[in-house]
Chain A
Amino acid sequence: NAGVTQTPKFQVLKTGQSMTLQCAQDMNHEYMSWYRQDPGMGLRLIHYSVGAGITDQGEVPNGYNVSRSTTEDFPLRLLSAAPSQTSVYFCASRYRDFNEQFFGPGTRLTVL
């Protein structure tokens, strides 16, 4: 199993550009989440999904959209990037019956 994969690993955007961060898992996990990591703030939940077609907002959802059309994929969209979205983004997944979350390797995003 590849586990949780994220692409790209690094990305530089200009203010106002849009992009999609990709996340995929091959463990048939129902739950998937997106976090952002900023120095001194730990990881903060952006959006999460409890299954295909079901998504909800986390702690810091503004400026981000998600969709979940399949169990495997959970892309995160930035519609109009802002410098405040410069961060490291992690995708995670787990089984519905509570268990540990498995994290992807992260995407380091810089918005100029």
Chain B
Amino acid sequence: AQSVTQLGSHVSVSEGALVLLRCNYSSSVPPYLFWYVQYPNQGLQLLLKYTSAATLVKGINGFEAEFKKSETSFHLTKPSAHMSDAAEYFCAVSDQRGTSYGKLTFGQGTILTVHP
């Protein structure tokens, strides 16, 4: 079984400040990990993904995430927040094999607010 926990349902930062969105996962087999972003009234867009290559993954819009197996974490960061980053962010996990292969399990989401 796999699961995802996103710490903090709401995160608020000032424009130019560091963005840190936390994600911890559990998986019985090596996982694939994803971060998706959802802007208001839109579908989900892939920000970045970890598929067992480099542990530091760079995505679109200046975001990156680091896979830490020992901590079962995949936190999302951006050095300097922009107003346009305001959205809801979802962490998701998928098993690389087994009965859960290919099925995405999502965290509950974190709403990011960026203040001027």
Contacts and interface: CB of A to CB of B under 8 A. Distances in A.
A100 B106 contact: no
Contacts of B101: 98
Interface in B1-60: 4, 9, 32, 34, 36, 42-46, 49, 51
Interface in B80-116: 90, 92, 94, 96, 101-109
Interface residues of B, number: 25
Interface residues of A, number: 23
A42 interface: yes
Contacts of B9: 40
Given A100-B34, A101-B104, A42 B90 contact: yes
Nearest to A41: B108
A43 interface: yes
Interface of A: 4, 31, 33, 35, 40-45, 48, 50, 58, 90, 92, 94, 98, 100-101, 103-106
